[in-house]
């Protein structure tokens, strides 16, 4: 059968499916270690709504290893004293001592806006040799071959890589294609984002 869909001839070392914060950070860590990374992201633009708000000192150290320590510090706020939740009468509902510096040398608690943090990571990735980002490419199929995996996207294009990493968040397509099990411990709670 004749192939009509475009196929990139190059075989990348690692393909990341999804370019949220985990894919952005992993792309920097891999590329800075000399690896050739292809990132395929479904949406044409970064998602602009705040979601995650907090990371600890160990994650600060990972940002540092990815070469963005100073830039990340510029968009985060450490907790000066106690972290508190109050009701409308001002009564403290939750009070946690998250002050000070952790063993990794970063503040124990760092607050941020996810779009700002992602902007730091995507700017760094854009300037990092070894990272190819293709937006508007939803991965819809993965085919494993002897020495590579072929990734097909919704545009009909195909890409190839020696390794694929599922950085596609909750409800991961990549995980759904892996022969692996999930253990559900039945944890559930109603949550609100404040
Ligand atoms: C409403 C809401 C509130 C939240 N509040 C908090 C909070 O208060 N604190 C906190 O720590 N965390 C919070 N989170 C969670 C936080 O946003 C996530 O933990 C974080 O975004 C996970 O990053 P990720 O890179 O793993 O996944 P995601 O951010 O989900 O990124 C995955 C990326 O993969 C892409 N993708 C998915 N499938 C494909 C595919 N087949 N092909 C190509 N690309 C694909 C997606 O478009 C997306 O860009 C919240 C999440 C939501 C939805």
Reported pTM = 0.92
Ligand 1 pocket, 78 CB below 6 A?
A: no
The per-residue pLDDT for range 117-175, each reduced to its tens digit, is 999 999 999 999 999 999 999 999 999 999 999 999 999 999 999 999 999 998 899 99
3-state secondary structure of 2: coil
Does the CB atom of residue 18 touch ligand 1 within 6 A?
A: yes
8 pLDDT above the threshold of 90:
no
For 84-112, write each residue's pLDDT tens digit: 989 999 999 999 999 999 999 999 999 99
Check residue 162 and give left, alpha or beta (phi > 0: left; psi -120 to 50: alpha). Answer: alpha
> Which is the CATH superfamily of the domain at 1-49+117-194?
FAD/NAD(P)-binding domain (3.50.50.60)
Domains of the chain by residue range = 1-49+117-194, 54-112
Which atom of ligand 1 has the smallest separation from the CA of 168?
34
* Cα 22 to Cα 19: distance, rounded to the nearest angstrom: 7
Q: How confident is the model at residue 3 (pLDDT cuts 50, 70, 90)?
A: low
Cβ neighbour number for residue 113 with a 10 Å cutoff: 16
């Amino acid at each position: 059968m004749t192939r009509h869909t475009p196929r990139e001839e190059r075989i990348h070392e690692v393909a990341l499916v999804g370019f949220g914060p985990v894919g952005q950070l992993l792309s920097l860590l891999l590329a800075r270690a000399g690896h050739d990374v292809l990132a395929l992201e479904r949406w044409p633009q970064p998602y602009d709504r705040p979601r995650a708000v907090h990371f600890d000192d160990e994650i600060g150290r990972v940002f540092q290893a990815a070469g963005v320590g100073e830039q990340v510090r510029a968009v985060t706020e450490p907790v000066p004293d106690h972290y508190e939740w109050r009701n409308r009468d001002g009564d403290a509902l939750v009070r946690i001592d998250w002050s000070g510096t952790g063993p990794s040398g970063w503040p124990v608690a760092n607050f941020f806006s996810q779009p700002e943090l992602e902007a730091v990571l995507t700017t760094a990735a854009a300037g990092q040799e070894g990272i190819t980002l293709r937006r508007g490419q939803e991965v819809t199929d993965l085919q494993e071959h002897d020495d590579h995996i072929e990734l097909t996207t919704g545009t009909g294009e195909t890409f190839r890589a020696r390794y694929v990493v599922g950085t596609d968040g909750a409800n991961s397509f990549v995980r759904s294609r892996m022969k692996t099990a999930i253990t559900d411990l039945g944890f559930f709670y109603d949550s609100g984002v404040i």
